[in-house]
Chains A and B, each alone.
Chain A
C-alpha cells in the first residue's frame, strides 16, 4: 500500500534525465532537492545541465524555478559506474535509462540502501511515485493514481486547481491572522477564531481583507478572552 509523503530531498540522483520524461522529473526535482546529480547514459552529456529560471514549460505543473540551476554530471556514464557508490547518501533516485538490465540493477541497489527509487514508466521497478502537483504559496497538493491513469489525473488536477486557489486564499488569511495573535496559546486562539461566526460573516460578506481588519477587535473582546481561558484550562 502506498502512502503520500512530503520528503525533504537532500540529495537526488538521476540516471539519464536529459530529455523527455526524465528531463521533466529533473526539472521538478530541481525545485525541491537540495543537491541534484545526473549520471548520464553511455552517450549522454558530460557538461553540467543548466535549467533556466522562470516557468519550466516542459513540466506539466505550474511550477517555477526562481533562478537558473546548474546540475553537475557524473564523469562516468551509468553503464560503467559503481551504482552503490553513486546512490550512497541519496534520498531519492530516478532513472529513465533505455537499458532495462541497468534499470533493474539501479532499483536493486536502491532497495539495498533503503533509498526511494522511481524507474520511469516501469511500475515493478518503483517503490515511490511522483504525484501530480498543485502548488500555491502556502499549500501543496498531490494527486495520484499510482500511475494507472496519468492522463485522467492531469485532467482532474485542472478541475481541482480553481478550488485549490480558493483554499489558498483561506490559508493566506489564517496565516495573516496568526501574525496578529498575542504570544500565548496560538492553536487555541486560532481554533476559537475559526469557530467565530462574526469572522465567518465578515469573510463571506466583505471579503478576507475586511475580516482581517476585524481580528484585533475580536481578540480584545472579553468574551473571547473568557473562552480562551476556559479552553486552556
Chain B
C-alpha cells in the first residue's frame, strides 16, 4: 500500500505520477483540493481519510509520500518511516525519490535528475518514451 499524506498541489502532482501504476492507495489530510479528489477517483483501490496524520496510518505501507505544507509534520513522517524501515519521500530529505516515469505496454522507463531539475527529467522522459515507442513499433 502507498500512503500519501497531504491533499494540496504537491499531492495532486504525486497522484498524477502514481496514476499509470494504480497502486493500492491511502490518502490522508484534513481537507483535499477538488483536483486531488478527482485524481483519487481514478484509482481502483483508494482509502481517503479526512484527518490529521498519525503514526498508526503507516501500518501496511510499503511507501510513504510526506507532502504536507508543514515541514515539521513531513519530518515527523520521515522519522516514523525510518523507524519502521519504510521508504519515505519528503522532498529532497526523503529516503527515496520518484523519478519521472512512463509506461509503454510492459516497458517501464524512469528518468531522475536526483531532485536537481525535475522538469528536465520529465522532458528527457518524454523524449525517450517517444523514441522507445517508435523503436518498439519498428521492432514488432
Contact = CB atoms under 8 A, between A and B. Distances in A.
> Chain B interface mostly helix, strand, loop or mixed?
mixed
Q: Interface of chain A, helix or strand or loop or mixed?
A: mixed
A211 to B, nearest CB: 15
B35 to A, nearest CB: 20
Interface string A101-142: 000000000000111000000000000000100000011111
A138 B116 contact: yes
Nearest to B128: A160
Contacts of A178: 117
Nearest to A88: B85
A39 B128 CA distance: 38
A139 B124 contact: yes
Interface stretch (B4-12, B18-26, B49-57, B68-76): B18-26
Interface residues on B, range: 35 or more
Interface stretch (A62-70, A76-84, A143-151, A220-228): A143-151
A159 interface: yes
A175 interface: yes
A115 B97 CA distance: 17
Contacts, number: 121
Interface in A176-208: 178, 190-191, 194
Contact of A5 (B63, B86, B109): B63
Contacts of B123: 167, 170
Interface in B1-54: 18, 21-23
A114 B120 contact: no
Contacts of B135: 156, 159
Contacts of B117: 138, 171, 174-175, 178
Contacts of A145: 106-108
A7 B95 contact: yes
6 contacts: A4-B101, A145-B107, A146-B106, A146-B108, A170-B124, A171-B117
Interface of A: 1-8, 10, 89, 91, 113-115, 131, 138-146, 148-149, 152, 156, 159-160, 163-164, 167, 170-171, 174-175, 178, 190-191, 194
